[in-house]
Amino acid sequence: DIITNLEGFFKPQSSPLQNKTVLVTAGPTQERLDPVRYFTNRSSGKMGYAIAEEAAKRGANVILVSGPTNLQPPANVHFVQVKSANDMYESVMEHYRNVDVVVKSAAVADYRPKLVADQKIKKQPSDWSIEMERTTDILHTLGTEKTHQLLIGFAAESEQVEYYAQDKLRRKNLDMIVANSILQSGAGFEGDTNIVTMFKKDGTSVSLPLMSKQEVASNLLNEIELLLKENVE
Amino acid sequence: DIITNLEGFFKPQSSPLQNKTVLVTAGPTQERLDPVRYFTNRSSGKMGYAIAEEAAKRGANVILVSGPTNLQPPANVHFVQVKSANDMYESVMEHYRNVDVVVKSAAVADYRPKLVADQKIKKQPSDWSIEMERTTDILHTLGTEKTHQLLIGFAAESEQVEYYAQDKLRRKNLDMIVANSILQSGAGFEGDTNIVTMFKKDGTSVSLPLMSKQEVASNLLNEIELLLKENVE
């Protein structure tokens, strides 16, 4: 429509994202217990899909690796559908060497059942203890094997948001972390809005008011553009 | 449209379901572990929604109690949204005394975490053992407290389908059970088709070929109409 065309006309044509390859992960993962039951989490994928869409609009080559969501993949992105944390790990590592920016917005399960049954487990009258093991920490692996990539993580916390976010930024060797409180009204997994603070490696932070996930994506990509410019200088 | 009107015109106006109250349960339940993580299962709710819609078309007063799905509730049904097995139990029991037919197509979680954390549980380097306890068995309770109601259950099995279905029919005091193999191609939770066999209390069984969930719903309601007629005679 006319508005979109005008936006395109006035937008500076020199986004540092142009022709950069951006890998975005989104959504939850599902960790099977048997053919019917699984563990998962409340991530809707909306934040990651909005970031992928906005990065593509700015001229990036976007790879969107997504767990199961109810969303339509945005146009002009290379879409990879995965289910488990292990699927996501393999897909991300396959692409990592060739990407310039990673935005890891997926809520990857950190535990999975130790045993996955081929048949539906019949219920018993008694209690049940499910043994869980850690999945591979994708973000930690990316931080460890980082060469030239900008690495952006997310921290969705229910308490001590800044403390946990800053700690994760350091431990995982990130360039920036996007933190939000999942218990705050208007923020978190399932809604269309978010309230986030972005913490950067150099100690600066940018706090945004309540806004749509599209607007958060746009602000996040502005910060990524700044980081890309700094990297060049 | 014209086709629908013609169908209405040619359909016999004397469905035994007319003005009967039919309670349908549908979808999975979600059992929280903390504000982010939960247990669930692969039920899409499609089978139950199709049954609710078809029952309403035949003139029944339909109450649809549904766990979280991505489906639009059918028109002309009283829709009750629930999340956990316990929510579903309470909603079903609240209506049970005043209904004529119950079709329990929901895939209710039979276990839930013993402890539900108010805050997001932080991951640890080590393994994790999650203690699970049984939820209330809704179908068993309905069978025990049955007075005049027709009670229809479902059995989604990955092996020994007929054995488990017949056993469940007896144990839960059902009038009919709809059995399908979740591992068979074209059958089960997430697709638009199903392959079912209906086993009745009197020993008869009706096996249907692969068909849409709408067609399965129609066949199931035909059998329910027969059972309602028998009850009157």
Within 8 A of B184 by CB-CB distance, chain A residues are: none
**B192 within a domain of the structure (yes/no):** yes
**A121 within a domain of the structure (yes/no):** no
Q: A72 in contact with B at a CB cutoff of 8 Å?
A: no
Cβ within 8 Å of A, B 115-174: 118-120, 123, 125-134, 156-159
**3-class SS at B72?**
coil
Mean pLDDT value of segment B42-60? 97
Check whether B3 has a pLDDT greater than 70.
no
Token digits of residue B84: 């956990």
Partner residue facing A38 (CB), from B40, B131, B132: B40
**B169 within a domain of the structure (yes/no):** yes
Alpha helix segments (H runs only) across B58-192: 85-96, 138-144, 161-171
Q: Which of B151, B162, B155, B156 is nearest to B201 (CA)?
A: B151
Q: B209 in contact with A at a CB cutoff of 8 Å?
A: no
**B116 within a domain of the structure (yes/no):** no
**A12 within a domain of the structure (yes/no):** no
Band (pLDDT 50/70/90 cuts) for residue B2 is low
CA-based nearest distance B181→chain A, Å: 11
Q: What is the pLDDT of residue A187?
A: 82
**B32 within a domain of the structure (yes/no):** yes
Q: How far is CA B199 from CA A21, A110, A208, B175, in A?
A: 57, 42, 59, 9
In the predicted model, residues of chain A with pLDDT beneath 50 are none
Band (pLDDT 50/70/90 cuts) for residue B10 is low
Neighbours of A46 (CB within 10 A): 25
Mean pLDDT value of segment B141-170? 94
**A39 within a domain of the structure (yes/no):** yes
**Residues above pLDDT 90, as percent of chain B:** 81
Q: What is the pLDDT of residue B14?
A: 83
Q: Assess contact for A177 and A169: CB atoms under 8 A.
A: yes
Q: What is the CA radius of gyration of chain B?
A: 18
**Residue from B29, B120, B126, B135 to probe the interface with A (highest A Cβ count within 10 Å):** B120
Range of the domain at A50: 18-109+132-232
How many domains, chain B?
A: 1
Partner residue facing B39 (CB), from A37, A127, A131: A37
Query: Is B61 among the catalytic positions?
Result: no
> Largest Cα–Cα distance of chain A, in whole Å?
67
Tell me the CATH number at B150: 3.40.50.10300
Distance from C-alpha of A203 to C-alpha of A35, rounded to nearest angstrom:
46
Alpha helix segments (H runs only) across A32-185: 46-57, 85-96, 138-144, 161-171
Q: What is the pLDDT of residue B9?
A: 58
**A75 within a domain of the structure (yes/no):** yes
Within 8 A of B42 by CB-CB distance, chain A residues are: 35-36, 38
CB contact under 8 A, A133 and B127: yes
- Residue of B181 and B47 predicted with greater confidence: B47
Check whether B181 has a pLDDT greater than 90.
no
| pLDDT, chain B, mean | 92
Beta strands in B164-225 (DSSP E): 176-181, 193-194, 197-200, 205-207, 211-212
Q: B130 to chain A: nearest residue by CA?
A: A130
